[in-house]
Amino acid sequence: MTNQLKYTMIFIKHDNSILMLNRLKPPLMGLWTGVGGKIDANESPTDGAIREVHEETGIVVNNLSFSGTVTWQTEQEDSGMYLFSCEIHDNAGYDEPKLVDEGILAWKDIDWVLHGSNEGIPKHIRLFLPSVLSGQVHEHLCFFRNNELEKYERHSLLKEDK
């Protein structure tokens, strides 16, 4: 995998929940997202994702699945991220929400995360997350204007999927 995209986002699943970050700072300030961040120079997307998971949550993951890509186009920038997911078998000691440098980490029920009325999840995440959780590998294209998601497209990155 070559580093064409600048960021990663990782969805860590345990039972019916995902470890979500309520972000302290922009971008997506105050909203619940997967953990992740910028890929360092000379780092692969997978290594960047493993590092971000460890830095933000303390969890060491060794079973990340590549789950596709998301690109966004705004008036200011064209950028994007590699998506990863993994399943862990205990709650990593997160019985309660935990305050970390980047915000608040908490296990959130998948039904809550995907609920159509949930304004706390960025719109693009609500659109691409079902594909990630069902094990599909898509390229998700998001087009924003005035901070609103104006258009969304999805294409499979696997030949056998449509």
**Residue ranges in contact with ligand 8DG by CB under 6 A:** 7, 9, 27-28, 33, 36-38, 72, 81
CA distances from 140 to 75, 125, 157 (A): 18, 10, 10
Number of C-beta neighbours around residue 145 at 10 A: 11
Nearest-CA neighbor of 26 among 61, 60, 76?
A: 76
Cβ 48 to ligand 8DG shortest distance, Å: 9
Closer to ligand 8DG at the Cβ: 33 or 131? 33
Please, what is the minimum distance in Å from the beta carbon of residue 128 to ligand 8DG? 9
Cα(91)–Cα(102) distance, rounded to whole angstroms?
A: 19
CA distance 71 to 58: 27
Closer residue to ligand 8DG (CB): 34 or 94: 34
C-beta of 15 vs 38, nearer to ligand 8DG: 38
Residue among 28 and 137 whose Cβ is closer to ligand 8DG:
28
| Least gap, CB of 116 to ligand 8DG (angstroms) | 19
Q: How far is the CB of 81 from ligand 8DG (least distance, A)?
A: 5
Residue of closest CB approach to ligand 8DG = 37
Beta bridge partners of 85: 11, 65
Peptide bond into 27 cis (omega under 30): yes
